Structure 1
Amino acid sequence: MTTVLPDPMRLPTERGCPFSPPAEYTVLQTERPWSRLRLPGGRTGWLITRYDDVRALLADRRFTPPMVQVTPNAELPLPEEELPVPDGLFSALDPPEQSRYRRLVSRYFTRKRTRELQPLIERITDEQLTGMIEAGQPGDLNAWFAQPIPARVVTGMLGIPAADQPDYQRWVLASLSLDTSLDALREAKDGLYEGLGELVRHKKSHPGDDIVSELLHGSVGESPLTHAEVVNISILLLIAGLETTANMLGLGAFALLEHPGQLARLRADESLFDSAIEELLRYLTIVQFGLTRTAREDCEVAGRRITEGEIIVASLAAANRDPAVYDDPNHLDLARDQSTAPHMAFGHGVHQCLGAQLARIEMKIAFGALLRRLPKLRLAVPADRVATGTDKVFYGVHELPVSWEH
């Protein structure tokens, strides 16, 4: 039976499989790769789903990321209503303004710097797994493993005291939930700004071995960063380094447990770990609503006339399942070679995620420890009872009950 989709359509959200994007994307790729999209507030834009189109758009300097990304409940301002980008919020800036901030921040996420973090990540992972085992089974792998490992890593990198880490984790989760009330959202944003503002003031006079201190006191050969710039950069790093990797760890563990053949391959051959991490990133693509871009000028793209201010949503999840690029794209293959068509789970172009290397090493260490310490790990509930998070900006699991044998 042919699926008929409305034109313009709303952003697809309903999933039939917990590991696959909504089925509408498959139809769109075949029949309407550029689809008119009904945006919140009554405006219309475009939704694109093919790998080549998404990759080209994200590298096109005629388009810029807006302050607000499109989600099912996004309140999108009209172009004339958009406020100036806050100082330091470089995710919403274009070069050359963006380039300065990326130069300052990228040095903390090089391969060398992330390798230096390996002993810390290993220690945190072992502590979290030990805590879950000692607490007894069944255990919630999301609460013990997926959420706290990246939270402890990134808050430690920023110099946030361990006692305050749960507050920051709660504020980030609330700020990225689609169901958060306006009061709770305001409380979360206030908590982030006030907490990090106080941290920056403290590090100004009491520097330590952390990113905030280095941003304040490091010799960068340029004008010193302001208080507001350091606060906003810290918020970006906190959100990007916490919730994204947390969802990949939780959803990735769920996917591995539900694909026992692939999991057995990984257990039998540790040389597959690097390709396995890339395949999980492609297959799961937790940026579930895509990346939003706004046209900076009237232009033509793929034979279509785009007007200044028009919005395009690039679906990373659909692009990473494009059958024109990947053989059997809906199959999880931990040995898949992506050398000719790398996934776009971290985006593409000048705004590609800075923390990609950190996320990769966290996943490799965490999954390696999980398989080593709990070789007979299994779900403690039927798979259809695992609650997944279509109510979040980044897709993942809310809880992952597991049991094991020693």
Structure 2
Amino acid sequence: MYKKIQYILLCGLCITSLQAQTRTEKDLLGDKQIPANAYYGVQTARALENFQISGMTTQFYPDYVRAFAMVKLAAARANADVGRLKKDRLGAIEKACQAVIDGKYHDQFLVDLYQGGAGTSANMNVNEVLANIALEMSGHKKGDEFKDVLKMGRTEGQDAVPMTVGQEFHAFGNQLDAEVNTLRKVEVFLCEQNMGATAIGTGITASPGYAEKVATHLAKITGKPIVMSKDLIAATTSQQGFVLYSSALKSMAVAVSKISSDLIILTSGPRTGIFEINLPALQPGSSIMPGKVNPVMPELMNQLCFKVMGNDLTVTLAAHSGLLQLNAYEPIEAIAMMESQGLFFKSFPLFRKNCIDGITVNKDILNHYMERSVGIVTALNPVLGYEKTTELAKEALATNKGILELIREKKLLTEDQIKKLLDPASLTGQK
């Protein structure tokens, strides 16, 4: 009985303490208890109950929170410009928005990114936090390493023609440059906004000039070329800006994944694979095979790229599934694109540091392949003729000898001639 009374008293104390640490707010659904020290309000509290999905909240993406604050700041200034907001209130809102832009109060943005209602819950989370902050403040590039190291190029997995390791890696770099340029170009499609068009893009309830002023303020705040969309109804229903940007992220993922897979092939071995390059050994690769070291960084990059490719499909499906004048699936689009950007942002520096910067070349292996490859005959055509080189290729395959080995045996060329033919500059078109 004593323990039971103790427990009842303890529960009573907890309830009293809880009541003292909460405040009551209400909306159209009724009253709700909110933690007293929370800057969010009743609509956020309801969302926290209704959307316990992933545990991934808006605070996981600081730039997303900052972007929300920038939008609210632009909206406030535009409302002040058109006479809908008093200067003193504008000042308070500006301070609150700037605080969030500066990285403060981010722990108050708690709504799960997976949510219904076309993002209304996340939007209200921002509104409530900014409002309470305002009240409180008012008192109320690339190189060309290994450029002289010859190797055999491969097409369809077969020996092709000579190239240098530098050319191979330079091509990797140029692929990534092209993807970065594409991302920069499509970013412009994210800079059209439809603020002030309200529900479906007709501008109902918005003050004249508001939409234009929001765009102007957003451009100044973000430093981006933000403009008002030419067709606000189209901008409200269409998600093509997101589709294009997500597609560019996917394109980057395809390029990075292809390069990662190439690195895995090039480092395969060490005794029974290609083994042309070495990747930094980061950790043991097996609990049962001593000495095995796996290409863990390219494998990691592949997995992240697969995720980005999947995120692009998510954006595609969400964009095409919106009904009539509004798309209710914008939240999942935002989640997908922010996750893709975040994965790249975090993994690229790590990939360079733990993998790319530490790559070395196995020159003896490369020389061995050059000596034995049948593909070298293409370079000998101008000197020995097509008929002779064809005979050499056939004999090399039949006898398992290298082309240069046969040339030396038959004394078809001198060592000086061979050396000139194998000059990296002339052999790979770099002169």
Give TM class, smaller chain.
under 0.3
Q: Give the number of the structure whose alpha-carbon radius of gyration is greater.
A: 2
TM-score by length of 2: 0.22
